[in-house]
Structure 1
Amino acid sequence: MDNSFSSSMYLPCTLFETVARFDDRTADDMQCGDMGERELLALGLRDISAKVDPYRLVRYDLLNRYELDSPFSSSVSGVKISHQQCVEILFNEMKELSLMFSFEGKYKMLIGEMIDHFRFGNGCGFYSERLNLAFHERLNSYINHNPMLLIENAIEYFYLNSTSRDYQELLHKIKYVLLGSTLPKFNENEDRINGLGITVHDIAAQTITLSSLQGYTMGWSATLFFEAQDHFGLDVIDIQDKLYSQFRFFRIWFFLQRHRDFAFKPFFTNFNSVEKIEK
């Protein structure tokens, strides 16, 4: 017996959504060009680059690199450069430094693509089939509190034990069990070197939608749509973090994003996965 007709009256149905909303441009990590030199220095952003002083638009002399971390680094000699030359040097350096976080696996090229999008994308959303694949693989890579498994168990119990076929009751049950789920993130040890930790890491917003549900005499099938969004941008809390602030990569990123004379726009990273479950 096919129960798709009765269940379709309630579908598609949003089963879960994070408190954090999609397309939230009010978030601090989505701000740009809102700080001057004084504010940035107050955050400890004095030593930005190993190659240029972006405050003075000076390219350092190679022989004076050793002076950069000294108390007298403000007097390091160099060559005056244009604003555009400074931008070019900073983005190239950012790409070079990203390699320490992204040097292994099939997703290691993502950070380079996203740095280019940061520079040239003017704040438009970023979409990548490669990132969709990474999200799909992560959804299928863990067991404990996996939302997909929790949904599967709830539907299986419903078809084995319920005689009423009250789909509203089923949807309510799924929404309840998902409150105890662990959403997929890119924060495993492997993500520190495969490019996923530096590009996405902690996903800002997610939704889970039940798109279809069909019951048969000997089983059932369902289609789930997982949608996610992260922010490719840094907030003040990020740059004040003792770990992140140690790396020039993040200091350059924050400077390029938040200094009013540079003001490169952060952007939303969008990815999704369609998952089929059945018994």
Structure 2
Amino acid sequence: MAALQFPYTLFQTRNRMDDYGAKDMRCGDLTEAQLTSHYGLVDVSTRANPYTFTKITPFNQPQSMFYGSRGEGEKITRQQCVAMLFDEFRDLSRLFSVYGPYRHLIEKMITHMQYGNGKPFRDMLLNSALEAHILNDKTENSTLSKIKNALIENIDWVNKYYPEKETDELRKAILSGKLPKFDRFQDNFNGMGITVHDTWATHITLKSLHIDNDRYRAVVNYKMQDHFGLDSDDILKIKFRQFHFFRIWFVLQRYNQFGFKPFMTDMDAIVEIIGDRK
């Protein structure tokens, strides 16, 4: 019976990595008329009007009691308007990123959107967050627990290897579990819910497996990717559209006068499993 050779890809999501054709990766494709009429994005910012390139004051802010009494605000350039919108975007991000080591990630990612021209984003803190999430999930539904149980049940303990013909058992085990997602209660405030939340694509690879004296040591690699971008479904939801934060994000990304590119967020974690036959 053949032994499994390493590294071996245990699992891949249907969504593929580097999918630049996804709906939330579109940019610069909507007009002012579409943004204001279809999406209702009239009141976008409290600092600058992205459609007229004017500063917003109490006299030209639609919800103000002084609205219309002094005419339009001071004219600004497109570059000045963009800078003001991104600064407000960063300031508002602190509502969703209150404490912990990941709280500054969202500001770094907003700045990457401003200057990165769509290049993928990587950060050691993202890798650390993913690793901590995987290791700290002690529930029976965690993919790591599922992999651990499948290894114990299917290792050929006599001959000290994992049979190649049993690889489907590992894949089925992962499918029965819950992939790591930053949708826990604490992620609403620690910065991970707003930077990643759900993920688009996941690859799980068994890097190595050593078996000796009824014990095993396995090294598993999780590669996960999310998109830092919004699609139409996102902004049409009231829970997103009610916040200036998401309105500014959508307009900076999708308005044909701006078209700032969304990007891939890459995360990579290598974790170790140690267990025994019992």
Q: Normalising by structure 2, what TM-score?
A: 0.92
1:144-170: CA deviation from partner (whole Å, max 9, x where unpaired): 311111111111122477779561133
TM-score when normalising by structure 1: 0.91
SS in 2 for 1:220: strand
Deviations 1:5-59 (A, max 9, x none): x74x522111111111111111110010111111111211111001111100010
The answer on whether the counterparts of 2:11 and 2:204 sit within 8 Å (CA) in structure 1 is yes
Query: What is the number of residues matched between the two proteins?
Result: 271
Aligned to 2:144: 148
2:245 equivalent in structure 1:
249
Give 2:88's aligned residue.
93
Correspondence for 1:128? 123
Distance 1:13 1:205 in 2: 17
**1:103 positional shift:** 1.3
Distance in 2 between residues matched to 1:169 and 1:146, nearest whole Å: 24
| Amino acid in the other structure paired with 2:232 | V
2:29 aligned partner, one-letter code: D
Aligned partner of residue 234 in structure 1, secondary structure: coil
Alpha-carbon distance, 1:140 to partner: 1.4
Is contact 2:59-2:68 (8 Å) kept? no
Is the 1:150–1:181 contact (alpha carbons within 8 Å) kept by the matching residues of 2?
Answer: yes
Q: CA RMSD in A?
A: 2.1
Which segments of 5 or more consecutive residues in structure 1 lack a partner in the other structure? Answer: 1-5
> Would the aligned equivalents of 2:140 and 2:146 in 1 still touch at CA under 8 Å?
no
Q: Give the AA of the match of 2:131.
A: H
Range moving further from structure 2, 75-84 or 38-47 = 75-84
- Report what 1:3 is aligned to: none
> Which amino acid in the other structure matches residue 227 of structure 2?
H
Higher relative helix content: 1
Q: Does 1:107 align with 2:99?
A: no
In structure 2, what is the Cα distance between the partners aligned to 1:69 and 1:20? Answer: 42
CA–CA separation in structure 2 for the residues paired with 1:112 and 1:146: 30
Q: Does 1:116 align with 2:95?
A: no
List per-residue Cα deviations over 1:197-248 (Å, max 9, x = no partner). 1100001110111111111123111111100000000000000011000000
Q: Which amino acid aligns with 2:136?
A: S
Residue 21 of structure 1 aligns with which residue?
Answer: 16
CA distance in 2 between counterparts of 1:203 and 1:96 reads 25
User: Which whole-Å CA distance do the structure 2 matches of 1:57 and 1:17 have between them?
Assistant: 45
User: Any conservation in 1 of the 2:160–2:211 contact (CA below 8 Å)?
Assistant: no
Are the counterparts in 1 of residues 117 and 261 from structure 2 also a CA contact under 8 Å?
yes
CA contact (8 A) 1:32 1:259 kept: yes
Distance 2:202 2:140 in 1: 18
Work out the CA distance in 1 between the residues paired with 2:168 and 2:112.
41
Distance 1:73-1:266 versus aligned 2 partners, 3 A rule: farther
| Shift in Å, 1:126 | 0.2
2:204 matched to which residue of 1? 208
- Amino acid corresponding to residue 262 of structure 2 in structure 1: P
Give ranges in structure 2 of 5+ residues lacking alignment.
none
